[in-house]
């Protein structure tokens, strides 16, 4: 059973979508709408729209859309019930009791509780006799007990059932431990065993202070070196960052992006509390967008080895495309941040701070890396470097920044700036043409519906689907047209099964005196909700008149009256003649 309509309407009224979204996104007014940079994908030009009149949002860049509940579900990674609870708490509303099937929410809660209890168990184990090797390891890495306590570090012993037995005693069921990825099911199906054994443990904590996952490091040369929690009901590896819960409170709009847990902890202990790291995966656009909420600038502090340099080269465009300023910290002697700080002894924090102060931005870093590939004493090397340098500078969108780097390169190599700028402009024009072609192809693809994984039938039946979609949007925006529409069209006439499902849903709600979309986030998936709001956002005013509505009805009637091939095989001659006569009359 869903929440009462009156409660949901009150919830949305007290949680104005503009106010809620503004706490995550910087919005500016554009006409009757509010616009901003989308919090769900990286972009430099605002395509995220908030429609204040109907309490919805839609991003024309990534296709995310919905109401205020959908927004909270997506941005906070919550299920429906948890999002409603958060908004109710924000508005000071009481949740109606026994009004919603919260089985998934209960599982998420149990997973979080199991993780919290596991973190306590691992921490206690670290300071027990069984955890001596783990504590010695952390001390050998020069971590203080204060730092160990601050990050809640722990130890998983080499007994394959220690954690499972402990959590069972605390009342947790086997299926809950498997769902949390704290345990694995035995292949024969007979029981479970601990996922983490003989490893030092790093709890991963979200922005609300919940333990959502773990990373475990083995202390020998065995592989894998690190073992991380797989995706669970409360954790998505590609959408979270280690220690962001600490970094967001550092008071800085700059984040230090490190390669691993130990680097983050080491620089924190040295006094730099704005450090984060990815969770056993390469940097993703989701993580870049997440960082954008709390930072304007990212300093990449990856290891100076070949793998670290490759990771840096891959991370730069991801961060830039998310609208972040990027700098790259270069650590001498091929060290990582942890090693560098320790190598300087008591001067480590100051030395690391000096590296941060003098680190260049990503353009300087890329140009410096290019120089290492060519012998600039020879003409051939100089020409090759300039050609590659022009490609780097051509990616800069700011004319001023582009001019500064052009001047710097030409002054250093004593070459004519005009010729170099012409090369840059040529590359830029070519890139713009390619991007324009790419965008045109994307628009054609979007219009054809080839990549539409939700409304998959539109491509096969474009005429009927377009009319059905338009009529659906018209009905949502004009519920008072219910009687006229329902008297001329039945849901069974819809050729597109996805749109038919929505049409039946909206008709039923209006028939029962309910708002068409109040409970939409509970009754459809997030992708389905986004698709509906896409249709609503792309509707043009001329398509929302009574005459347009009647035209949609006419098209749907025409399309639904067409006989399919299998019908023609079984039709009588008289029926065929009647059918052809109807077609003739419809065209008069």
Residue 98 included in any domain: no
pLDDT of 568 strictly over 80? no
Percent residues over pLDDT 90 in the chain: 71
Name the DSSP letter for residue 543: G
Question: Across residues 150-155, what is the average pLDDT?
Answer: 97
Q: Which residues of 391-429 are buried (b: 16+ CB within 10 A; e: fewer)?
A: bbbbbbeeeeebeebbeebbeeeeeeeeebbebbeebbe
Question: Left if phi > 0, otherwise alpha if psi is -120 to 50, otherwise beta: which for 490?
Answer: beta
**pLDDT tens across 227-279, in order?**
999 999 999 999 999 999 999 999 999 999 999 999 999 999 999 999 999 99
Does 440 share its domain with 561?
no
- For residues 224 and 131, state if they share a domain: yes
- Whether the CB-CB separation of 48 and 59 falls below 8 Å is answered with yes
Name residue 458's beta-bridge partners.
Answer: none
Task: Kindly report the CATH number assigned to the domain that includes residue 343.
Answer: 3.40.1360.10
pLDDT at 327: 95
Spatial neighbors of 24 by CB under 8 A, at least 6 apart, are: 39, 75, 293
Dist. CA 557–CA 486, nearest whole Å: 12
Model pLDDT, residue 77? 85
| pLDDT over threshold 90, residue 128 | yes
> What is the per-residue pLDDT across 485-510, written as a single tens digit (0 to 9) for each?
999 999 999 999 999 999 999 999 99
According to DSSP, the β-strands at 275-277 and 192-194 are: unpaired
Residues of the chain with pLDDT > 70, as a percent, come to 93
- How much is the average pLDDT of 172-189? 94
List the CATH number of the domain containing 72.
3.90.580.10
Does residue 496 fall inside a structural domain?
yes
Same domain, residue pair 29 and 81? yes
Residues 410 and 482 in one domain: no
Does residue 212 lie within any of the structural domains? yes
Residue 348 has a pLDDT of 92
108 and 230 in a single domain? The answer is: yes
Closest CA to 394 of 437, 438, 432: 432
When pLDDT is cut at 50, 70 and 90, the band that residue 9 belongs to is very high
CATH number at residue 565: 1.10.860
Under the banding of pLDDT at 50, 70 and 90, the label for residue 400 is very high
8 pLDDT more than 90: yes
Q: What is the reported pLDDT for 432?
A: 85
d(CA 109, CA 7): 23
Is residue 96 included in any domain, yes or no? Answer: no
Q: Is the model more confident about 39 or about 105? A: 39
Q: What is the CATH classification number for the domain harbouring 155?
A: 3.90.980.10
pLDDT for the residue numbered 221: 82
For residue 506, what pLDDT is reported?
A: 96
Q: How many residues does the chain have?
A: 588
**pLDDT score for 386:** 94
364 within domain boundaries = no
Residue 1 confidence (pLDDT) above 50: no
Q: Are residues 467 and 581 in the same domain?
A: yes
Q: Are residues 177 and 297 in the same domain?
A: no
Tell me, yes or no, whether 239 lies in a domain: no
- The pLDDT assigned to 437 comes to 83
**Does residue 186 carry a pLDDT above 70?**
yes
Domain co-membership, 431 together with 550: no
How does the average pLDDT of the chain come out, rounded? 90
Same domain, 109 and 230: yes
- Taken in order 412, 413, 416, 422, the sign of the CA dihedral is negative
451 or 469, greater pLDDT: 469
Residue 515 clears pLDDT 60, i.e. is over it:
yes
Do residues 468 and 346 both lie within one domain?
no
Chain-centroid distance of CA 258 in Å reads 20
Domain stops at, among 69, 91, 113? 91
pLDDT at 280: 79
509 and 427 within one domain: no
Looking at 34, 57, 91, the residue that finishes a domain is 91
Residue 374: is its pLDDT beyond 80?
A: yes
What are the tens digits of pLDDT across the range 519-567? Answer: 999 899 999 999 999 999 988 777 789 999 999 999 999 888 875 545 5
Q: Is there a domain that residue 283 lies in?
A: yes
Range in 122-126, 342-346, 347-351, 442-446 the model is least confident about: 442-446
In the predicted model, is pLDDT for residue 200 greater than 80? yes
38 vs 566, residue with greater confidence: 38
- Tokens matching residue 140: 């050998």
Q: Which of the listed residues 397, 417, 447 is the one where a domain comes to its end?
A: 447
Cα distances (angstroms) measured from residue 416 to each of 406, 422, 455, 494: 10, 10, 56, 67
Give 415-462 pLDDT, tens digit per residue. Answer: 999 999 999 999 999 988 887 787 777 666 655 556 677 888 888 888
* pLDDT number for residue 168: 97
Supply the pLDDT for residue 7.
93
Contact 304, 329 (CB under 8 A): no
Q: What angle do CA 238, 239, 245 make, to 5 degrees?
A: 125
* Stronger pLDDT, 305 or 444, i.e. the higher one: 305
**pLDDT over threshold 60, residue 583:** no
Rounded Cα–Cα distance for residues 511 and 489 (Å): 15
Q: Which structural domain, as residue segments, surrounds residue 48? A: 5-91
Cβ-count burial 505-525 (b if 16+ within 10 Å, e if not):
bbbebbeeebebbbbbbbebe
Within this chain, do residues 227 and 248 fall inside the same structural domain, yes or no?
no
Peptide bond into 224 cis (omega under 30): yes
For residue 79, name the pLDDT band (cuts at 50, 70, 90).
confident
Question: What number is the average pLDDT over the span 78-96?
Answer: 91
Whether 367 maps to a domain, the answer reads: no
Name the domain count of the chain.
5
């Amino acid at each position: 059973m869903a929440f009462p309509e009156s409660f949901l309407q009150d919830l949305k009224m007290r949680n104005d979508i503009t106010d809620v979204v503004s706490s995550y996104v910087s919005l500016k007014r554009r006409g009757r709408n509010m616009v901003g940079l989308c919090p769900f994908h990286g972009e430099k030009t605002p395509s995220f729209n908030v429609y204040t009149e109907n309490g919805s949002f839609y991003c024309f860049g990534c296709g995310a859309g919905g109401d205020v509940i959908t927004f909270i579900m997506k941005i906070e990674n919550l299920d429906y019930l948890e999002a409603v609870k958060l908004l109710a708490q924000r508005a000071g509303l009481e949740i109606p009791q026994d009004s919603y099937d919260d089985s998934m929410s209960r599982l998420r809660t149990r997973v979080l509780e199991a993780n919290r209890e596991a973190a306590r168990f691992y921490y206690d184990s670290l300071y027990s006799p069984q955890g001596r090797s783990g504590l010695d390891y952390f001390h050998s890495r020069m971590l203080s007990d204060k730092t160990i306590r601050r990050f809640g570090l722990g130890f998983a012993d080499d007994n394959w059932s220690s954690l499972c037995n402990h959590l069972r005693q605390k009342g947790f069921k086997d299926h809950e431990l498997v769902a949390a990825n704290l345990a694995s099911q035995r292949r024969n199906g007979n029981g479970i065993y601990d996922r983490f054994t003989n490893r030092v443990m790093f709890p991963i904590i979200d922005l609300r202070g919940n333990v959502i996952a773990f990373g475990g490091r083995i202390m020998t040369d065995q592989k894998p070196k690190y073992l991380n929690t797989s995706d669970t009901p409360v954790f998505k590896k590609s959408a979270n960052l280690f220690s962001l819960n600490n970094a967001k409170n550092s008071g800085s709009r700059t984040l230090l992006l490190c390669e691993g847990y130990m680097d983050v902890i080491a620089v924190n202990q040295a006094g730099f509390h704005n450090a984060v790291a990815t969770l056993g995966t390469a940097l993703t656009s989701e993580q870049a967008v997440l960082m954008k909420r709390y930072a304007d600038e990212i300093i990449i502090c990856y290891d100076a080895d070949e793998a670290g340099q490759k990771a840096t080269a891959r991370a730069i465009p991801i961060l830039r495309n998310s609208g972040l300023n990027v700098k790259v910290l270069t650590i001498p002697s091929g060290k990582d941040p942890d090693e560098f700080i320790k190598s300087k002894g008591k001067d480590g924090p100051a030395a690391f701070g000096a590296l941060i102060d003098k680190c260049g931005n990503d353009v300087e870093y890329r140009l410096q890396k290019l120089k290492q590939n060519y012998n600039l004493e020879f003409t051939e090397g100089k020409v090759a470097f300039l050609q590659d340098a022009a490609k780097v500078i051509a990616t800069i969108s700011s004319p001023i920044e582009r001019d500064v780097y052009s001047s710097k390169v030409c002054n250093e190599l004593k070459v004519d700036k005009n010729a170099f700028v012409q090369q840059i402009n040529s590359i830029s024009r070519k890139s713009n043409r390619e991007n324009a072609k790419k965008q045109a192809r994307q628009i054609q693809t979007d219009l054809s519906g080839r990549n539409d994984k939700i409304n998959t039938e539109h491509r096969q039946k474009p005429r009927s689907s377009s009319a059905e979609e338009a009529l659906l949007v018209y009905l949502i925006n004009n519920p008072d047209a219910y009687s006229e529409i329902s008297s001329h069209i039945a849901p069974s006439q819809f050729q597109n099964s996805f749109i038919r499902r929505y049409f039946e849903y909206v008709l039923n709600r209006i028939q029962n005196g309910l708002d068409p979309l109040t409970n939409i986030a509970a009754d459809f998936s997030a992708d389905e909700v986004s698709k509906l709001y896409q249709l609503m956002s792309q509707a043009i005013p001329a398509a929302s008149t009574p005459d347009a509505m009647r035209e949609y009805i006419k098209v749907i009637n025409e399309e639904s009256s067409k006989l399919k091939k299998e019908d023609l095989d079984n039709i009588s001659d008289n029926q065929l003649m009647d059918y052809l006569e109807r077609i003739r009359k419809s065209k008069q």
